[in-house]
Each structure stands twice: as structure tokens, then as C-alpha cells.
Chain A
Amino acid sequence: MTLAEVKEILECAVVTGEDRLDIEVKTGCGCDLMSDVLSFIKPHALLLTGLANRQAVRTAQVADVRAIVFVRGKRPDADTVALAKEKDLPLLVTDLRLYEACGRLYMHGLRGCGANQTTGDPE
């Protein structure tokens, strides 16, 4: 799934990375705990989180996350945006809650990071 599709499905505003919406994400992970993200997320995933701070960007960078969607309308501060820009990490914001945002993406075929998940199209 491309970021452009994510943007449309979740009715996102793009905070940074407008020129990189052709990036493809392979799986999704919805989580506010960065240690859990580090423990479970697969490479090239999309991270959905309500934690809109520098640690989310650092975590994304360390774990090869392709982009972050901040949920519940949480907007990162200028420092966090600057860090993401420096690292070429697209940031999007949606007003949806985490559960609904993940659910919509899952319905459109973006699978999770669990051991039994595949990244193919939905049946």
C-alpha cells in the first residue's frame, strides 16, 4: 500500500514528506509504546501512534519504519517535524482513533506485524 492510499483511507493531513507519498508500506503497526514497537514491528512498516514526539521519530528510524501516522489528531511539535525532515521520514496526521485507523487500513489489505501475518492482498 502506498502512502498516498494511506492518506486517502485515513483522511490524513501530510505534515512532512508530501513529495514521498509513492513510498510503499508492507505492514502496519498500531502502538503507543515505543519499546513494543521496537520489539514487534517489521522492517518497512507503517507506524500508527498517538505518541507525537521525537522518540517516535527516533524509534521509526532505528526500526526501519517507512512512515508514521499520528492518530487522534496529535500534531508533532516543530522539533519533531524538523528531525523527521532531516531523516526523510514522512509524517501524517489523522483525526481517527488508533483502533479505527488500523481497522480501515486492515480492511484495505494492509496486514499487521504478527508472526502469522502475510502481506498479500485480502481475500
Chain B
Amino acid sequence: MMGNEGFCREFEVYGGDFYNAGRVSTEIKEILRQIGIPASTVRRAAIAAYEAEMNVVMYARHGKVRLELTPDLIRLVVRDEGPGIENIERAMQEGYSTASEEMREMGFGAGMGLPNIQKNSDRFTIRSEVSVGTELDIEIRV
């Protein structure tokens, strides 16, 4: 799907699929690198995408990552069907986590995911409804 002056692509992420966790983010990173976006910007976008992807794998049933590119903006919209976040303010605090042992064994679930996304983005908003799902809107200026 192509917009007037941009590029848009959507990727599927499945809850519990630890084997493929990170595949979408590395694919996004490769796309951004290939179109010539500066390495430091590509890295920020890849880290934000990876944390968001891991959150879907760890907590949700299913999710979609939409990558939108315009000449001056990388936008990642990550929408999942899952438990949602009860208290967004608390989830944004470093170290707060509801992760299981399995997630921690993968090196995640230390309560750094959402703060990491914020740190690597220029604009970050979360909308969430308990028992329905969560939507992250991440923008990174090029």
C-alpha cells in the first residue's frame, strides 16, 4: 500500500511466538537502512520496534505493526488484541513489570520496554483498553 508520497507496510506478530520474536523489527531495520536513513535514526526505530514487538509476543494474542514512512518521519503503529494495560502511568515507570518467568528467561520483562520506546522516539502515545488490547503510536523524525 503506498500513500501519496509515502510508504506503508504492515507486519503480523503472534503472541507466544518467541522463536520469531524480533523478526519483524529486524526486517523494518533492513528496510530503513536500505532507503538510506542515517544509522543512528535506524537504530532508534529498530529498538523501539523491537520492544513493541516483544510486548506483543509476551502479552498479547496477536498484533500488527504498521510502518509508515514519509520523507521526514518514521511512524510505527503497533496494535494488539490482548489483555490491555490497566495503569499506563505505572507501566511507563522503569522497573514496573507484570512479566512471567518465561519472559524473564528470554531477557525481557524487566519493566524497561515502554520507557525504552519513549526514550527512542520523538512522539509516543499509548491507548489501551483492558481485555481488548493496546495501541502504540511511535514517531521518529528523520
Residues of A within 8 A of B (CB): 32-39, 43, 49, 51, 53-56, 58-59, 61-64, 79, 87
Main secondary structure of the interface of A (DSSP, over half): helix
What's the Cα separation between A1 and B109 when bound, in Å? 32
Residues of B within 8 A of A64 (CB): 39, 43
The 8 Å CB contact of A38, one of B23, B39, B51, B106, is B51
A30 to B: closest C-beta gap in Å? 13
CB-CB under 8 A from A33, the residues of chain B are 107-108, 110, 112
The answer to whether A39 touches B112, judged by C-beta atoms less than 8 angstroms apart, is: yes
> How far is it, in angstroms, between the C-alpha of A51 and the C-alpha of B40 when the chains are bound?
26
B26, A34: Cβ atoms closer than 8 Å:
no
- Contact status B46-A34, CB under 8 Å: no
Complex contact A34–B106 (CB within 8 A): yes
Within the assembled complex, what's the spacing in Å between the Cα atoms of A58 and B27? 11
Collect the chain B residues with CB atoms within 8 Å of residue A58's CB.
21-23, 25-26, 50
